[in-house]
Structure 1
């Protein structure tokens, strides 16, 4: 691990990365924390979220900053609201979906750091709006993520506009209750 320096980040100065109806802003990257963790904000449009998956070597903590989300962690499903944190340990299947009527927002700590590389790759793969699930699964596997499967009936525009973009309200067909990152 390298020596880390003090860093002050203005969220609005961070270029967003978009994937599956979600917009991420990586506030602290692995390079900023000596590889210890990544800290980022995700904004999701209603009905959006990643497919059920497992991080083999990473833990995640999600703080609901705005909205309501249905989380499934280790086979237990529950709806949580703003002000609540939920922990997803490594090796445990998990997913979430924004169940509110407005864009929601999560703050996430992912340890060890480096998940931003996965999301930047994912963003590039869905940039044209037509996901190639084989390539996305290959990317996930390279980042030690298992179970990254398309939701039932998913075969459309899952890249979609970012949550705040005009015309971006609502999830594309087949995206609800399936896409998780």
Structure 2
């Protein structure tokens, strides 16, 4: 079997860190580096953080909680995920997650096939090592919402 791309090692704390809607994402591997098969991101979700309800039309997402607690809503199911919990969401799942605690939560998520990480890299604000993003402004929220259709994401207003 021939390798299609070189191996990649990302030491702790390395990789581009970006702020997206108040959450901190560190891109561990991109689709460019995996032949488009998948991308992987480490996320730090501050208290109250997390994305709005949305649906992906292109990729499955997998989430593995490393630290803290994250409340996921998947279609009509609500689930509180603590360290060691893994969730896999198929394409077309209405979902969102929120950190409802007073402490940051940290998790890894994968996207297969890759591509969504490019939205984070394009729209996010670069962060220094250990830096957390500011609370998102109305302009940032609008910019992300307007870009979502280009990346196959539908934002679903809360009912």
Q: Same fold (TM over 0.5)?
A: yes
Runs of at least 5 residues in structure 1 that lack an aligned partner in the other structure = 153-181
Look up the SS of the partner of 1:13 in the other structure.
Answer: coil
Contact 1:62–1:86, Cα closer than 8 Å, also in 2: yes
Q: What's 1:50 paired with?
A: 51
Are 2:143 and 1:135 aligned?
A: yes
Q: What's 2:63 paired with?
A: 62
Count how many residue pairs are aligned between Structure 1 and Structure 2: 149
Contact 1:70–1:80, Cα closer than 8 Å, also in 2: yes
Change (3 A) 1:84 1:127: closer
Look up the SS of the partner of 2:138 in the other structure.
Answer: coil
Are 2:9 and 1:8 aligned?
A: yes
Look up the SS of the partner of 2:143 in the other structure.
Answer: helix
Change (3 A) 1:127 1:141: farther
Q: Which runs of 4+ in 1 moved over 6 A?
A: none
Shift of 1:135: 3.2
Alignment of 1:1-181 (within 5 A): 3-124=4-125, 129-132=136-139, 133-147=141-155, 149=157
Q: TM-score normalised to the size of structure 1?
A: 0.75
The Cα offsets for residues 55-81 of structure 1, whole Å up to 9 and x where unpaired, read as 001100000000111101121011111
Q: Hey, which of these two has a bigger chunk of strand by percent?
A: 2
Deviates more, 1:127-136 or 1:113-122: 127-136
